[in-house]
Every structure is written in structure tokens, then in C-alpha cells.
């Protein structure tokens, strides 16, 4: 099974993807997570991506595609995977289509998570991430706070607000999304595998997607 999950930053792509992974036994591929890992490890790709991530801008396509091709070739992707927030632009979609065609893979679902901008701002400015690069657990000060304020439940490290999740950076990310990614929705809506679903409640969103996939 191959799923592409679309939506603005904070639409819930990661949350829904993890639920689908558990349901169908496939792998979640998040370019954001992979890039952050590269940054934490200080790899050449990570250093190149860092300046873009901190300002809320999109990382260049050549960096993204190199990571994607390497990732889907790994054994754990053999049963299927979910692209969490990728592609983000039409050129990326074209590059992905070429890659999947080369590997004889077919997309089963293209899901667009729809959520109002004010909800996105509240979700992302309230997010906190574990500072331990080997943990990276995510919390929300309103809906999923840690047991002890500012401390990760899993490893005891301090929690931080990422540079790309301040209100200023989020607004830049949303502006970038509307400019670069919204045309992608118009492009994909013509695809037979495309459908949109409201993403205000994770369980309702998950149920709607599963129902569609099992038709």
C-alpha cells in the first residue's frame, strides 16, 4: 500500500500517518523527520537543510529526492509506506512519479487533510519537542502535555520549541504552503486516488480514511 498524505503544516499529517501505520503495518516516511535527523547528526545534507528549516522555507528538491530514493529502497518499505507531507510542489510530484514508475510502484491513495489556519497556528505554537536527538518525542501544552512541565516523559530531557514552530516562522511556512503547495492540490485532485477529509478530530479523520481505503 502506498499513500501520499497532504495538508498544511499542523494539519495532522504525522498523527494520522502513525495511526495508519499501526492499522496496516506499513512505514511512515516523513521528510521532516529525516531532515531533522540529518541536522542532528551534522551530515552534509543536514547542514545544507538547516538554514531552510529554521526560516520555515522549503528544503531544495535535490536534497529531498536524494533522501526519498534512499529511504524507499530499505527493506522495511517492502510492504508499503506513507509519504507524510511529501510531495509539496508540482515539480516534486513529477519527480516522485518518475521514481515510482522506475520502481514499478502505484499510489493507492492521495489524502488531503483540510484544517482552518487558526487551528494550525494554535496547534503548532503549542507543540514542544524533546531536545534529545535520539528521542524527539512530541508534546502539546494543551492537548498532550508532559507529566512534568518542560520535561520529556520518555527520557527526562528538556523540551524545546523548535525554531520553525514560533508564530513568526509558522506564518512564513503557511505563506510558503499557499504559494508553493496549494497548486499541488489542484494538480492531484484530478487523480483517481485523490480525496479530501476534514482533520479537526484525529479519530474521525482516521476512520474516514480507513473507510475509503477499504472500499
The residues annotated with a catalytic role in the active site are 13, 88, 127, 162, 173
Cis peptide bond prior to 150, omega within 30° of 0: no
Phi-psi region of 2 (alpha: psi -120 to 50; beta: other; left: phi over 0): beta
Q: Could you tell me if 85 and 13 are in contact, meaning their C-beta atoms sit under 8 angstroms apart?
A: yes
Cα(188)–Cα(192) distance, integer angstroms: 9
The percent helix, strand, coil of the chain (3-state, each to 5) is: 50, 20, 30
Amino acid at each position: 500500500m502506498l499513500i501520499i498524505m497532504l495538508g498544511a503544516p499542523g494539519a495532522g499529517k504525522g498523527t494520522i500517518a502513525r495511526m495508519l501505520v499501526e492499522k496496516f503495518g506499513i512505514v511512515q516516511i516523513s521528510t521532516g523527520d529525516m531532515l531533522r535527523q540529518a541536522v542532528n547528526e551534522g551530515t552534509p545534507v543536514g547542514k545544507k537543510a538547516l538554514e531552510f528549516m529554521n526560516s520555515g522555507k522549503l528544503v531544495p528538491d535535490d536534497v529531498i529526492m536524494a533522501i526519498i530514493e534512499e529511504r524507499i529502497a530499505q527493506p522495511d518499505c517492502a510492504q508499503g509506506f506513507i509519504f507524510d507531507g511529501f510531495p509539496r510542489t508540482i515539480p516534486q510530484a513529477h519527480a516522485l512519479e518518475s521514481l515510482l514508475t522506475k520502481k514499478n510502484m502505484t499510489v493507492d491513495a492521495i489524502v488531503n487533510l483540510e484544517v482552518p489556519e487558526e487551528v494550525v497556528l494554535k496547534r503548532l505554537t503549542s507543540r514542544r519537542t524533546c531536545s534529545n536527538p535520539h528521542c524527539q518525542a512530541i508534546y502539546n501544552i494543551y492537548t498532550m502535555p508532559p507529566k512534568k512541565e518542560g520535561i520529556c516523559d520518555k527520557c527526562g530531557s528538556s523540551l524545546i520549541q523548535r525554531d520553525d514552530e514560533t508564530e513568526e516562522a509558522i506564518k512564513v511556512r503557511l505563506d510558503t504552503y499557499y504559494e508553493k503547495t496549494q497548486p499541488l492540490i489542484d494538480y492531484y485532485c484530478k487523480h483517481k486516488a485523490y480525496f479530501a477529509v476534514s482533520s479537526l478530530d484525529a479519530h474521525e479523520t482516521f476512520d474516514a480514511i480507513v473507510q475509503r481505503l477499504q472500499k
